[in-house]
Amino acid sequence: MDTGQPQASILKSVFEGLIQFLPDWLEIPLLCLLIAFILFGWVQSIRGKITRRRAARAPQPMLPPAGSQGRGADHLGQYAPAAHRPAPHTPSGADFLGAYAPQQRRDGD
């Protein structure tokens, strides 16, 4: 049912009461400061969202603090694999085509 009266929240009534209570010379600067504060919060919120999005797209590796051995997957202790020694190169796969390798051409052919 519409009574024709605007529905005002309690917060709006309190805000209007405080604004009307203030002298005119103080009312405008305080309103400007309030608007600036709201805009500053909005800008900071957007900057935070952009920063979180960029961090999610390009994750940086977490390094353990200096002097720390690390933990979890960073520190395997006795379960760490033995030091990798390069094996002599044995051709396989695409490195070694065998009979299917292209033959070298001779100058006379």
Q: pLDDT per residue over 12-71, tens digit each?
A: 888 888 788 888 888 888 889 999 999 999 999 999 999 999 888 887 776 666 666 656
Please tell me the distance from the alpha carbon of residue 98 to that of residue 14, in angstroms, as a whole number.
Answer: 88
pLDDT category at 93 given cuts 50, 70, 90 is: low
- Let me know if residue 38 belongs to a domain: yes
Written as six digits, the tokens of 20 are: 């009307």
- Let me know if residue 46 belongs to a domain: yes
* Domain interval for residue 50: 24-58
Q: What is the mean pLDDT of residues 83-103?
A: 67
Element counts in the chain: helices (H) and strands (E): 2, 0
pLDDT of residue 13: 84
Question: Residue 1: is its pLDDT beyond 70?
Answer: no
- Let me know if residue 18 belongs to a domain: no
Directed axis angle between helix 10-21 and helix 24-57, to 10°?
A: 130
Which residue's entry shows tokens 């005119």? 24
